[in-house]
Amino acid sequence: MDGPPPASPAGLSAFVAVSQLLGLTLLATTGAWLGRYRGGVAWHSPLQFNAHPLCMVLGMVFLQGDALLVYRVFRHEAKRSTKALHALLHGLALLIALVGIIAVFESHRAKGTPDMYSLHSWCGMAAFVLYLVQWLLGCGFFLFPGASFSLRGRYKPQHIFFGIALFILSIASCLLGITEMLLFKISDSYSQFVPEGVLANTLGVMLVAFGLVVGYVVTREEWKRPPLAEELALSMDFKTLTEGESPGGGSQ
The pLDDT value given to residue 3: 55
Q: Write down the domain spans for the chain.
A: 24-225
User: 5, 16, 4, 34: which is closest to 218 by C-alpha?
Assistant: 16
Provide the CATH number for the domain formed by 24-225 in this structure: 1.20.120.1770
- As a whole number of angstroms, the distance between CA 248 and CA 112 comes to 67
Would you state the pLDDT for residue 148? 81
Are 60 and 170 contacting, i.e. CB atoms less than 8 angstroms apart? Answer: yes
Task: Provide the residue type at 177 as one letter.
Answer: G
Amino acid at 16: V
**Residue-by-residue DSSP string for the chain:** ---PPPPPPTTHHHHHHHHHHHHHHHHHHHHHHHHHHS----SSSTTGGGHHHHHHIIIIIIIHHHHHHHHHH-SSS-HHHHHHHHHHHHHHHHHHHHHHHHHHHHHHHHHT---S-SHHHHHHHHHHHHHHHHHHHHIIIIISTTS-HHHHHHHHHHHHHHHHHHHHHHHHHHHHHHHHHHHHHHTTTGGGT-HHHHHHHHHHHHHHHHHHHHHHHHH-GGGSPPPPHHHHHHHHHHHHHHH-B-TTS-B-
pLDDT number for residue 4? 60
Q: Name the DSSP class of 251.
A: B
Asked whether 131 and 60 are in contact (CB, 8 A), the reply is: yes
Mean pLDDT per 10-residue interval, the chain, length 252 residues: 66 97 98 98 95 98 98 91 96 98 97 96 98 97 83 93 98 98 97 98 98 97 80 50 47 36
pTM across the whole model: 0.89
**Nearest-angstrom CA–CA distance, 68 and 218:** 7
> What is residue 183's predicted lDDT score, i.e. its pLDDT?
97
Res 247: pLDDT? 42
